[in-house]
């Protein structure tokens, strides 16, 4: 067998397993709040800056608009966001937090610390997090650049 084809030598497997397990660690918290992980990501973006076009939300989340739209429709039905046509461009859909969406921010305030305490280990500490973020951002940029070609 080729050494490079062993599972333990695959970067993709480590990224997949880490992503799956981190997302799984969020699930009990999200169950209590009545949201999903993708909804949390949308809320994070809107808590930073409310009233954003769907295209901008999708770009921030590294997703296509046709993936984000059904998610936003569910969030609207659940009363977390509202959608309206842009005043300057009717083709643009602006997403804003509802009162319930704004109130969710206070309920979610402890999530990063809770999850952070679960993923900290000898190789990953709060002090080393910025370096890991830079590395992962570089991987994301590189792969996005390749998929657009």
DSSP secondary structure letters along 6-73: SGGG-HHHHHHHHHHHHHHHHHHHHHHHT--HHHHHHHHHHHHSSSEEHHHHHHHTT--HHHHHHHHH
What's residue 1's pLDDT? 78
Q: What angle do CA 106, 108, 109 make, to 5 degrees?
A: 65
The domains of the chain, with CATH numbers, are 37-110 (1.10.10.10)
pLDDT, average across residues 75-97 = 91
Q: Does the pLDDT at position 149 exceed 90? A: no
Sign (positive/negative) of CA torsion 31, 80, 115, 21?
Answer: positive
What's residue 148's pLDDT? 66
Going from the C-alpha of 144 to that of each of 16, 17, 129, the distances in angstroms are 17, 20, 22
pLDDT, average across residues 100-126 = 93
pLDDT, average across residues 109-116 = 94
- Which helix (H) or strand (E) segment holds residue 94: the answer is strand 93-97
- Per-residue pLDDT of 117-141, as tens digits, reads 998 888 888 899 999 999 999 999 9
- Per-residue pLDDT of 26-80, as tens digits, reads 999 999 999 999 999 999 999 999 999 999 999 999 999 999 999 999 999 999 9
Q: Does the pLDDT at position 20 exceed 90? A: yes
């Amino acid at each position: 067998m080729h050494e490079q084809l062993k599972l333990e030598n695959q970067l993709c497997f480590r990224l997949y397993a880490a992503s799956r397990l981190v997302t799984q660690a969020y699930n009990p918290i999200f169950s209590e709040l009545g949201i999903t992980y993708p909804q949390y990501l949308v809320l994070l973006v809107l808590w930073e800056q409310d009233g954003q076009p769907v295209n901008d939300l999708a770009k921030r989340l590294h997703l296509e608009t046709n993936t984000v739209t059904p998610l936003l429709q569910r969030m609207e039905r659940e009363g977390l966001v509202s959608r309206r046509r842009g005043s300057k461009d009717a083709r643009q859909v602006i997403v804003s937090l509802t009162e319930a969406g704004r109130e969710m921010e206070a309920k979610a305030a402890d999530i990063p610390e809770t999850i952070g305490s679960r993923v900290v280990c000898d190789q990953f500490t709060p002090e080393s997090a910025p370096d890991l973020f830079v590395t992962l951002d570089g991987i994301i940029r590189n792969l996005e650049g390749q998929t657009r070609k």
